[in-house]
């Protein structure tokens, strides 16, 4: 009886881990090869992509505005320095 108990305690966790690994591999494989999306999923994926593009465009616009502000500040300082040099 103790031999059976020790055998089961050694084998069952290993079998459970193997089954879990196989299932995770299966899910990963199906997710990577599933191109048969429903129209709702296609639409959702398109909306997610659009949201990402909009966010990237907003970030780019923010960087552009910051660069323009920096350039305007540099121009103001240069004009101020030129005015100081031109004073008699």
DSSP three-state, residue 76 = helix
- For the chain (88 residues), the mean pLDDT of every run of 10, in chain order, is 56 57 66 64 83 92 94 93 88
Per-residue model confidence (pLDDT) at position 59: 94
Residues 66 and 28 in one domain: no
How high is the pLDDT of residue 36? Answer: 60
pLDDT of residue 9: 56
Taking the C-alpha atoms of residue 31 and residue 37, their distance in angstroms, rounded to an integer, is 11
**Predicted structure pTM score:** 0.47
- Do 30 and 42 belong together in one domain? no
Same domain assignment for residues 29 and 45: no
Same-domain status, 27 and 5:
yes
Residues 25 and 52 placed together within one structural domain of the fold: no
What domain range is 74 assigned to? 37-88
Q: Domain check: are 44 and 80 in the same one?
A: yes
Count Cβ atoms within 10 A of the Cβ of residue 66 and give its class: 0-12 exposed, 13-18 middle, 19 or more buried. exposed
Both 48 and 8 in one domain: the answer is no
Whether residues 62 and 42 fall in one domain: yes
Residues 54 and 74 in one domain: yes
At residue 4, the pLDDT reads: 56
């Amino acid at each position: 009886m103790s031999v059976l108990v020790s055998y089961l305690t050694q084998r069952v966790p290993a079998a459970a881990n193997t089954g879990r690994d196989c299932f995770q591999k299966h899910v990963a494989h199906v997710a990577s090869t599933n191109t048969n999306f429903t129209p709702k999923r296609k639409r959702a994926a398109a909306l997610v992509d659009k949201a990402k593009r909009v966010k990237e465009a907003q970030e780019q616009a923010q960087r552009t505005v910051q660069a323009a502000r920096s350039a305007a500040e540099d121009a103001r300082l240069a004009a101020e320095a030129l005015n100081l040099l031109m004073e008699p």
